[in-house]
Structure 1
Amino acid sequence: MSAASPTPQEYKRLTQHDVDVICAKHDRLWSARLGGARAVFAFCDISGLSMTGRNLCDADFTGAVLVGCDLRKTRLDNANFYGADMQGADLSDASLRRADLRGASLRGANLTGADMFEADLREGTIAAADRKEGYRVIELTQREAYASGANLSGANLERSRLSGIVATKADFSDAILKDAKLVRANLKQANFNGANLAGADLSGANLAGADLRNTVLVGAKTMSWNINDTNLEGALTDKPAGTDVSDMPYEQMIADHARWIETGGVEGKPSVFDKADLRNLRSIRGFNLTALSAKSAVFYGLDMEGVQMQGAQLEGADLRACNLRRADLRGARLKGAKLTGSDLRDVQLGPLLIAADRVLPADLTGAILANADFARADLRQARLTGADASRANFTGANLRDIDLTGAIRLGARGLDDII
């Protein structure tokens, strides 16, 4: 006799009331109240229903159908979505830290700003419990994780596992993919504009026709990757971008600059680092670099905490992933600068007094500030005209007389009261 062929899985259709009851019991379990029970939606059809804002950490969605579900801002850390159908679901700003998404379909899903730290999106095989055989395979072939056309713009996918995923034409713009595993992933025509892929493993990945403009590829593994017709304009790699700092008399220039400041310009001279690659410095923490000229220079990843750069010329500079906490950038010119993912908590970006009756506002016109943290920063009179402040944090910042004309504020926090 031949082995019995797999039978189609039957799905239990739930109503919104059913879902609300299950979620309420799960919440009771998490708050250690009586009547609590873990949320189990395994092989249930909950298409089109809403669980927005719920706490469903550790919930079981194995093989479930969540087509078009509303999961905005839902807490789904460590949840099991093994083989789930999540096509067209709205998971914007949801937390999916360490979630199991192996074999799941995210085709056309909205994951804008989602936190998917260490999430697992590798291929998987769908199985179901069987009394005699334990687990039996429902689908005989390995099922790839599908995220074709998904919107993962600004999502945190650091250290996530996406090897073998099919994410053609997906939007990963400004996403954090540091140390992510993307081995043999199908990423044809995907948008990675501005994404941070530092340390990511892209071995054997298919990126034909993809947009990799302005990406960070520092330390990335790219063996046997396919980049036919791929746009790599402005991508930051391990190769020096511009003049390497090792080719410049750095220590002497810093000493000359400090002497120029201390003597009011009588001795020394101002340093000029225009178009220089300063990454090898690793730290300029607390340095006095007032009026420094570093137009289009690369500072990526530097420790710049407490640095004094009042009135600095930083137009077009790459300051992504920098530590700029408590830095003094009053009156600095940051027009078109990249500050994606930088720590700017408690930074001074207010006006610089240059005469008794004249002040110089900080200029961030057209700057890219996506995912930057400006908590408690002083941004009085700062010009952010046309800046991209998507998902940036301005909580507790001083925003008096700030100019946000034409700025992109999608998902930004702390700007609700600014017209």
Structure 2
Amino acid sequence: MLLGAAVLAIGQVHQHGLTWSGLFDDLYANFGSELVGMAMVILLIDRFAARREDERVRRQLVRELASTDRGLTTRAALELEAKGWLTDGTLQGAQLSGANLSGVRLERAQLSDAALAGATMASCNLSGARLTRANLADANLDRANLEMADLAGAALPQATLTDADAGLANFVHADLSGAKLAGTDLTGANLTGSDLCGTDLTRAVLTRTILTAVRWDAHTRWPTGFEPAVTDSPDEE
């Protein structure tokens, strides 16, 4: 910068003679443009650093959400919600198998393709959540709120959803084989094409539930007095 100032001064003297006003005008214009350039560089560096920090925090919170420590997962879920990362796709395909999410609020969470096998999700709030193609095999969803959740194509074999609220939920082509849905409220839910072989539906509420082309067998347990429609498809052993 000093060298630049000296060169500028020599040029000014050579062209206009030694006039302090002209010299200061040129120096002011030159330094002003340099300061603007420096400010822009600093701003870009700050933004890059902020993005890197956000990404670090994002990855850290997803790791914490996969914990078996309920206190840690609860805090992680709250942080993810506060930053808008529950619903922006951050958790799509997340590895959360075996996580303790009991009572955790995951309302409207985007969990498509997430691995949640064996997760403890009792009393978890998943209302409006997107769980398409998620792996929930052996997961514990007892008393969970799944109202209006989208579980199309999800794998829930041997999962437990006892006394869960799944009103208006979407289970199209979901694998519910061997799952326990005793007492589950499935009012208005869509189970078209789902696998109900060996599924326990005793005490389940099936008011306006769509059961078109579902698969079931002799081990499927229906609510007392409920008779599957003739359009439903029992599997022959």
Q: TM-score range by the shorter chain?
A: 0.5 to 0.7
Does structure 1 conserve the Cα–Cα contact (< 8 Å) formed by 2:158 and 2:178?
A: yes
Q: Which of 205, 209, 217 pairs up with 1:181?
A: 205
Paired residue for 1:197?
222
SS of the counterpart of 2:61?
helix
For the residues of structure 2 that align with 1:151 and 1:36, how far apart are their CA atoms?
28
Q: How far is 1:190 from its partner?
A: 0.3
Q: Which of 18, 42, 51 pairs up with 2:61?
A: 18
Q: Which of 22, 37, 40 pairs up with 2:75?
A: 37
Paired residue for 2:92?
47
1:223-372 equivalent positions in 2, closer than 5 A: none
SS of the counterpart of 1:39?
helix
For the residues of structure 1 that align with 2:158 and 2:100, how far apart are their CA atoms?
18
Does residue 1:210 correspond to 2:235, yes or no? no
Question: Cα 1:28–1:65, aligned 2, differ >3 Å: closer, same or farther?
Answer: closer
RMSD value, Cα: 2.8
Question: Cα 1:200–1:148, aligned 2, differ >3 Å: closer, same or farther?
Answer: farther
Does residue 1:117 correspond to 2:162, yes or no? yes
Q: Which of 151, 158, 163 pairs up with 2:182?
A: 158
% of aligned pairs identical?
A: 26
For the residues of structure 1 that align with 2:61 and 2:185, how far apart are their CA atoms?
33
Larger helix share, 1 or 2: 2
Q: How far is 1:23 from its partner?
A: 4.5
Q: How far is 1:211 from its partner?
A: 2.0
Question: Cα 1:174–1:51, aligned 2, differ >3 Å: closer, same or farther?
Answer: same
TM-superposition CA deviations, 1:374-397 (whole Å, max 9, x none): xxxxxxxxxxxxxxxxxxxxxxxx
Higher relative contact order (CA 8 A, sep 6+): 2
For the residues of structure 2 that align with 1:200 and 1:92, how far apart are their CA atoms?
29
Structure with greater Cα Rg = 2
Q: How far is 1:199 from its partner?
A: 2.0
Q: How far is 1:75 from its partner?
A: 0.2
For the residues of structure 1 that align with 2:181 and 2:120, how far apart are their CA atoms?
16
Question: Cα 1:200–1:164, aligned 2, differ >3 Å: closer, same or farther?
Answer: farther
Paired residue for 1:87?
132
Does residue 1:107 correspond to 2:152, yes or no? yes
Question: Cα 1:181–1:149, aligned 2, differ >3 Å: closer, same or farther?
Answer: same
1:402-413 equivalent positions in 2, closer than 5 A: none
SS of the counterpart of 1:37?
helix
Q: How far is 1:150 from its partner?
A: 0.2
For the residues of structure 2 that align with 1:120 and 1:114, how far apart are their CA atoms?
15
Structure 2 unaligned blocks of 5 or more: 1-53
Counting matched residue pairs gives 175
For the residues of structure 2 that align with 1:22 and 1:171, how far apart are their CA atoms?
29
TM-score normalised by length of structure 1: 0.38
TM-superposition CA deviations, 1:25-78 (whole Å, max 9, x none): x81628xxxx97373355433100111011110011101110000000000000
Q: Which of 14, 27, 30 pairs up with 2:69?
A: 27
Paired residue for 2:112?
67
The amino acid across from 1:199 in the alignment is T
SS of the counterpart of 1:17?
helix
Does structure 1 conserve the Cα–Cα contact (< 8 Å) formed by 2:70 and 2:101?
A: no
Structure 1 unaligned blocks of 5 or more: 1-11, 124-144, 215-367, 369-419
For the residues of structure 2 that align with 1:84 and 1:28, how far apart are their CA atoms?
20
Question: Cα 1:213–1:88, aligned 2, differ >3 Å: closer, same or farther?
Answer: closer
For the residues of structure 1 that align with 2:208 and 2:107, how far apart are their CA atoms?
25
